[in-house]
Amino acid sequence: MRKTIVRGVAVATLAAVAMAAAALPASAAAAPAEDEVVIVDEPDTSDLHNVYTVAPLGVPVFGLIRSVAGVPGKILPSVGQ
C-alpha cells in the first residue's frame, strides 16, 4: 500500500515538473511593453465560403448534411451506385 502511494506521489510530481517545463518557454517570452500598440491584420477569409465553412447555426449545417448523406455509399459501395 505504501509503495503504491509513493509511486502515485512520484508520478504526480513528475507530471507537475513536466507541465512547468512545458509552460516555461511561453512564460519567458517577451511581452510587448504596455505603451506599445500591437497591430494585427485581419485574417484572410476569402476562401472560406464553401458548404464546409459557412456556419449559420454555429455548425456547418450544409456540409454536415452532405457528409452524413454520403456515408452509406462509403460503407456499402452498392448503395452509393
Query: Can you give the pLDDT at residue 36?
Result: 72
In sign, the C-alpha dihedral spanning 19, 21, 22, 27 is positive
Closest CA to 7 of 15, 17, 20: 15
- C-beta separation of 52 from 60 below 8 A: yes
52-79 pLDDT per residue, tens? 777 777 777 888 888 888 888 778 777 5
9-65 pLDDT per residue, tens? 999 999 999 988 888 776 666 666 677 777 788 877 777 777 777 777 777 788 888
pTM higher than the cut 0.75: no
